[in-house]
Chains A and B, each alone.
Chain A
Amino acid sequence: MSVVIVLILASLALGLIFLGAFVWAVRSGQFEDTLTPAMRVLAEERTEKFPETKPNQTKMKNA
């Protein structure tokens, strides 16, 4: 019956992974604004994304 222990541990581990993901999502602010991202996605298709390396942006980061 030791397989039950393995199963319980596996399910707990899985649960903890999801809990960790949830905690990360909350900490990174994903629950702060649930409205705007839904709107942003409508525009995203037809526009180029926000440039990752913009000249002034990099300057600001380096500073």
Chain B
Amino acid sequence: MFSDSSTNTISRKRIACFHCGELCPDGSFALEDKAFCCFGCQTVFSLLRENGLEQFYQLQAAPGTRIRSAAALAKWTFLDDPTVTRQLLDFADEQRAKVTLHLPAIHCVACVWLLENLFKLHPGVGKVLVNFARREAAISFAPNQIKFSELAALLASIGYEPQFTLGETEKAKPSPLAKKTWLQIGLAAFGFGNIMLMSLPFYLGLDSFNGPWFKALAGWLSLALTLPVVTFSAADFWRTAWFSLRQRALTMEVPIALGLAAIYLSSVWEVLAQRGPGYCDSLCGLIFFLLLGRLFQRKAHERLTFDRDYKGFFPLSVVRKTETGEESVAISRLRVGDKIILRNGELLPADAKLVSAGAWVDYSFVTGEAEPVARETGAHLYAGGRQVGGAIEVEILKPVAQSYLATLWDNEAFRKNRDNDLDSLTNRYSKRFTKLVVGVALAAAVFWIFKDAGKSLKAFTSVLIVACPCALALAAPLTHGTAQRILARWKIFLKNALVIERLAEINTIVLDKTGTLTTADARGVNFVGAAALSAEEQSWIASLARHSTHPNSVRVARALDASPLSVKHFQEIPGCGVMGEVVGRKIQLGSRAWISAGVGGDGAFSVAGSVFVAIDGKVRGAFALENSLRPEVEKLISQLGGKYELALLSGDNECEAARFQKIFGDRAVLKFNQSPADKLNFIRELQQRGKKVMMVGDGLNDAGALAQAEVGVAVVEQVGVFSPASDVILDAAELPRLAQVLQFAKNSTRVVRAGFAVSALYNLVGVSIAAAGWLQPIVCAILMPVSSATMVLFACGTTAWLGRGLRVEKSQVAGSARANFQPSTFNLQPIVKEAA
């Protein structure tokens, strides 16, 4: 009887919105032959068409972003507050202003095009320049025609809601890869190329044709061209070498600077003594390759922030209640005693007291608890909670900086700075290397003083020049830089290249549960009942559930996703459930106790964490809401289990302990009800037992543990949005790759060691010849660039080749992962078909 209706619903469900591409729940929004999922998308389409911006839809299919919240101008009025404006605008006078806004919704070519054509939508908007990588738009506008708040509202109305966070206003924006670095590289390349051209006759032994004046000319010109390279391009090497010498540490920069100085000074001496053109070509080449290696390492992920503190998570403004009404106010101006209004999904910025009736607070971000908790009037709410459902009113109890959340950041784990890691692989090698080279050079000099005093100085400088640890200095930056870029292609972003070395040393992995291994989306909604739900019943229940903002109702409604019918006599009983009449049938949806009390007996469906359904006073069944595991988590755990010690930490209760013990095996430690501080201490205890710990987590509740661990991995649903301070940012869909990533890091470190071996071989041969005093300038000049070039090829080539393995496995698994990521709507289909 319902085979017709069910096929109907399916075919209707599959229509994708013309604007945003999401499935249209029903056909009620349509314009001509185009269907839309919601009124917001339809409005944007009409707006763009009226302004001749239809090309937006030709550049990419369904390029839009769903408008999630009604764009109210009032939301943005805080931007007109002069203090806020001053902090955010790059430049402003009466007629012109320029601002760089972070628009996380930018995702395709069409977005870039539409935003850069924004002037067609409003005459007050001038030139817009989008930076796709940073998800930013630099917008010029005329403040006398369009206010800053109106500009923000305009952007929000077409789906590009600007994101402002408290952190942004307080510190300078991170500068992109500095122009200076590029100039330094360009100058070094210029010197390298031109000096090499002049040195060519000397390589080939042709210089005698031109007579001695040519030698002098080439020598002086080379010195002149090298001077800016040594002073400007190599400036950073001198500075860091001086710095580490003053700190009495032998970092890689010390032997580099020593070698560079030796090469330049001996070149000057050779030219002055008219002995030859010096080694300026090698010197410039070396500096060029070294800078290239640094560029590789530094050109990481410009749009990611790895060092967020709590301010990065807070919105810039909240709605404050005043005597006359409501106003939007910057968080920095919030005072104790202010009453603020939080709407669905908004974050509470400070500890506060609930003033209005009841609230559902989602603390998952702070504590890791999966389910929102109910709070009554007068309850103390902690900062970092999110209101779920209707708007609530709260009174601020503590200043933002002293709230529960902010105190988390006072832990010392956040204060350690591991970026200037002195204990890196390269530095360990360079320490021995420097001592050895200086020792050999001195020994050679002393030896030649007794044998042939004239050769003494030459032997000393030759050893320093040949031993110049170019290959050594290039191995790690190039290998790690290449590895970093390969991983970034798979949406695994490392804070810096040193993280690879730390990843390779990990022997213990601690995982967070909620949000990391599990997701609380609609996929985990399963119906359990005597008979499966028919399509009609699904639409009745969905229609009722839609009217409630309770998170469980929202999940049920989203899982069913049927076309809505009108509901009469809707009633929501807090703490119990909802009831109402749909097409004359009485539907109840709620807790087991409430349903069984109302109808007598619960039909003996015992399902954990469930929402019970009664139709016409009879229990129909229950929806089991479980936190579904991300795809392939079990496979990942079994892969990791063989090689690493595993532990699971969860802020959630123990109801799923048995399930996870089965996945993790008996040896793993599972801990539940963990506070953020507990997690941090757990990691610290492991470290005190000599473990190298990797923490994998997602929320603020893991922030302490992420900072304390050797490597903190933040799992995010959307890269570039919302992640706690960490060393690695991992796209949630790539979580199954974790085992391969760890293996890749290990292999990369092996490549670095192999590079050291190659460089040691070069040095052994070169230094022995040099120490013996046999070294011809030509051999020296050729040996040095060749050793650098082999190192570049070896490091980049081998790492890229290793990365290929990652790519192949990845594309295979991507297919199966996608198969697991079926939209929620199809979850219930098999049941319907079985019933049919």
Q: Which residues of A contact B (CB under 8 A)?
A: 1, 4-5, 8, 11-12, 15, 18-19, 22-23, 26-27, 29, 31-33, 35-36, 39-40, 42-43, 46-47, 50-51, 54-57, 59-60, 63
- Does B182 sit at the interface, judged by CB under 8 A? yes
Contact B183 A39 (CB under 8 A): no
Given A15-B194, A39-B112, A43-B113: A60 and B210 within 8 A (CB)? no
Given A36-B131, A47-B55, A60-B96: A42 and B109 within 8 A (CB)? yes
A49 to B709, CA, bound (A): 51
Q: Which residues on B sit within 8 Å (CB–CB) of A32?
A: 131, 176-177, 179
- Does B145 sit at the interface, judged by CB under 8 A? yes
Contact B109 A12 (CB under 8 A): no
A40 to B190, CA, bound (A): 31
| Listed residue (A23, A31, A56) with the most chain B CB atoms within 10 angstroms of its CB | A56
28 contacts between A and B (CB under 8 A): A1-B209, A1-B214, A8-B198, A15-B194, A18-B190, A22-B190, A23-B186, A26-B186, A27-B179, A32-B131, A33-B131, A33-B132, A33-B176, A35-B132, A36-B133, A39-B132, A43-B55, A43-B109, A43-B110, A43-B113, A47-B55, A47-B117, A50-B116, A50-B127, A54-B119, A55-B123, A56-B126, A60-B140
Chain B residues within 8 Å of chain A by Cβ, number? 44
| Interface 0/1 of B451-477, CB less than 8 Å to A | 000000000000000000000000000
A59 to B130, CA, bound (A): 23
| Nearest CB on B from A30, distance (A) | 9
A12 to B190, CA, bound (A): 10
Q: Which residue in chain A gives the minimum CB-CB distance to B53? A: A47
| Listed residue (A31, A50, A51, A60) with the most chain B CB atoms within 10 angstroms of its CB | A60
A18 to B176, CA, bound (A): 24
A63 to B144, CA, bound (A): 12
Q: Which residues on B sit within 8 Å (CB–CB) of A51?
A: 119
Contact of B94 among A19, A27, A63 (CB under 8 A): A63
Q: Which residues on B sit within 8 Å (CB–CB) of A5?
A: 217
Contact A59 B142 (CB under 8 A): yes
- Does B197 sit at the interface, judged by CB under 8 A? yes
Assuming A43-B55, A57-B126, what are 20 further A-B pairs, CB within 8 angstroms?
A: A1-B209, A8-B198, A12-B194, A15-B190, A15-B193, A22-B190, A26-B179, A26-B183, A31-B177, A33-B134, A36-B131, A39-B112, A40-B116, A42-B59, A46-B58, A56-B123, A56-B142, A60-B140, A63-B93, A63-B95
Q: Which residues on A sit within 8 Å (CB–CB) of B113?
A: 40, 43, 47
- Does B124 sit at the interface, judged by CB under 8 A? yes
Main secondary structure of the interface of A (DSSP, over half): helix
Q: Which residues on B sit within 8 Å (CB–CB) of A43?
A: 55, 59, 109-110, 112-113
Q: Which residue in chain A gives the minimum CB-CB distance to B110? A: A43
Q: Which residue in chain A gives the minimum CB-CB distance to B114? A: A43
- Does B211 sit at the interface, judged by CB under 8 A? yes
Contact A26 B123 (CB under 8 A): no
A63 to B97, CA, bound (A): 12
A11 to B75, CA, bound (A): 62
Give 10 closest A-B pairs by Cβ, nearest first.
Answer: A63-B95, A43-B113, A36-B132, A22-B186, A35-B133, A26-B182, A19-B190, A33-B131, A39-B109, A60-B96
- Does B187 sit at the interface, judged by CB under 8 A? yes
Contact B211 A1 (CB under 8 A): yes
A59 to B119, CA, bound (A): 14
Q: Which residues on A sit within 8 Å (CB–CB) of B23?
A: none
- Does B373 sit at the interface, judged by CB under 8 A? no
Q: Which residue in chain A gives the minimum CB-CB distance to B58? A: A46
Q: Which residues on A sit within 8 Å (CB–CB) of B132?
A: 33, 35-36, 39
A28 to B119, CA, bound (A): 24
Given A1-B214, A4-B210, A11-B194: A33 and B133 within 8 A (CB)? yes
Contact A1 B210 (CB under 8 A): yes
| Interface 0/1 of B343-367, CB less than 8 Å to A | 0000000000000000000000000
Q: Which residues on B sit within 8 Å (CB–CB) of A23?
A: 183, 186
Q: Which residues on B sit within 8 Å (CB–CB) of A33?
A: 131-134, 176
